[in-house]
Amino acid sequence: INISVFPPSNACIGRYILNIQITSCGHTYQRCLGDFYVLFNPWCADDPVYMDNQAHREEYVLNEHGILYEGVHKHITSRPWHFGQFEDGILDICLKILDMGASYHHGSDRDHCWRNDPVHVSMVVNHMISSHTTNSIMKIPENNDYLKGTKPFSWNGSVPILQQWYNGRCRPVRYGYCGSLASVMCTVMRCLGIPSRVVTNFCFPCSLENPLGINEIFDCTGRNLCGKDRLWRYHCWNESWMARRDLNQCCGDWQCLDPTPLETGRGSACSGPTWVRSIREGELDLDYDGHHMFSRVNSNYVGWLSQNNAKKTKFFCDAWPCGQHLITKSVGSEQFEDITGAYKYELGSVKNKEAYYRAYRRIHPGYCNASNCHIERELSSLKNPFLSESGINMRLKMANCPMYGEDVQLHWLLENLRSENKNLKFNLCAQIITYSGYPMDQFWKDSVNVTLGPREVKKIPLCISYSQYGPYLSDHNIMKVVAVSDPECGEVLMVSRDIVINRPPVIVKLLSQPRLKVPCTAEISFCNPLQEDMKNCVMTLEGCGLFKEPMTIDLGTLASNQQARTIVEFTPYRLGSHRLLANLGCHKF
């Protein structure tokens, strides 16, 4: 007997048991034929997650390989990630996540009725990633202290994280960061049949007091002080495709889901789902957490100079607006796609201003009846004055693309826009900044007297040696260089530059063509570029369909300029597109 099962499009997702009852010659007996799983179906036009583009379905549902984008908006770096949604046991783990988080919105999960709605399913998954009090999948280290767990940037994929959570009696995995949290959520959503992708937003504000303003405070040396607000250099979240019945949507569209718990002034919480189009239009009343998501791509930057911890002065600068670059992996390509236009209209356009005014009235109830001109005057009073208004233009331009072990070379460009001489004294400094905007050690300081003749342009070379920044960099490969004028000279001018230090590459070379259930070999090579030993070197290898568990190779200590080569053997155990990932960790990073 051949039996076909056609579940309706509104069936609850999950594991089902199929029994058959047979009556013959007055006798009735039952037999269990087995179990089967019902998932959301983006190929079915009646399903709320239906996606009509085949190439998009292949990318956002079937593709197990992704790319995470990191760095800063002027220097974007990338690294591969294994989603692994089709690995053995992952589907059962994803359903366990729904079981553990079922009470989040519904109190009881007796009838499972909410499991046919991708909105509620996404809310439960979003909450379970890192916000659940006891059983969340992953934790973010407090105060960048991860000595009692795994380094957040050492993960290559979602599968080991989900397996460790499941095998560890659903206790949180320590530790992750926004990129790994968003990627694990993407794995779970794709596994359940919901098209999903990871998005990176550069210049991401996190403010406790003013939802539409981010404040950074500096001292007279240019050192970034630790205030209440944070300007994250980048932040990753998840987008999932679904038709929102609660918003009367008849067709699917991207919904924003941020699983990273962020401080909101009322405690930390994850965000979403929020309709991406409602963020662009400033329609914040439509959706969950709309005002949080709008502020994260539309906040104004305000910089202050603190003098003797008492007086604070706005300085002249050309601030990069928050949320001006949002990217994700392109469909069928290793390149990134700029999706900023999906979140906001072009800066300064009429539609951009209309959406901002609309959102401003909803975020600040005191302005609900204010005119556009009134709001614009209020915004102008908050912003920093531009450098050009002081008669000076400045910028820091990279002269090289530094890697670990190399000196950082910059050109400091100054231009006098006036017809009179300018005599200025500048304080310069460099300090380590975490990706989440937390200022670390200040390791370099200098002071320079600059004289500019009328309309003169001057280029000043700056060099920060590896011996100066190397001992402080650790896992945080971002530094901030600042030049700020002495307040005694009159107007306070500032220019800054975030610099990414690239990690040395690990080279993977296949020595034979991978074939199903046939042993295959690969060569992994790495060269120590530092003028010192690299201690406690450990290589971690991972690959969907290649390794059932990550392989760890202890390389010990690598001397300066020493080349390490390792031959590994593996046997592909399932068909598909395979990618071998190698990650090196040591006492330096």
Catalytic residue numbers read 178, 235, 258
Which residues, 6+ apart, have CB-to-CB distance to 432 below 8 Å? 439, 440, 441, 443, 469, 472, 473, 474, 476, 478, 479, 480
Nearest 5 degrees, angle CA 325-CA 222-CA 265?
A: 55
- Give helix 159-167 / helix 178-191 axis angle, nearest 10°: 80
How many alpha carbons lie under 13 Å from residue 206 in its C-beta half-sphere? 22
State how far the Cα of 588 lies from the Cα of 535, in Å rounded to an integer. 8
Tokens representing 429 are 């400094």
Between CA 50 and CA 11 the distance in angstroms is 14
DSSP state letter for 421: -
Residue 544 main-chain phi, psi, to 5 deg = -65, 130
Decide: residue 348, CB within 10 A, 0-12 exposed, 13-18 middle, 19+ buried.
Answer: exposed
- Count CA atoms within 13 Å of residue 334 on its CB side: 6
C-alpha torsion angle, residues 5, 6, 11, 16 (rounded to 10): 10
Task: Write out the H or E segment, with its range, that includes residue 440.
Answer: strand 439-452
Q: What 3 state SS string does 166-206 have?
A: HHCCCCCEECCCHHHHHHHHHHHHHHCCCCEEEEEEEEEEE
As beta bridge partners, residue 311 has 307
**Site of tokens 């300090």:** 431
Alpha carbon separation from 539 to 118, 180, 184, 523, 568 (Å, rounded): 39, 19, 22, 12, 11
Beta bridge partners of 526: 564
DSSP 36-80: EEE---TT-TTSTT----HHHHIIIII--EEEEEEEETTEEEEEE
Residues 263, 266, 270, 273, CA torsion sign? negative
Secondary structure of residue 222 in the 3-state scheme: coil
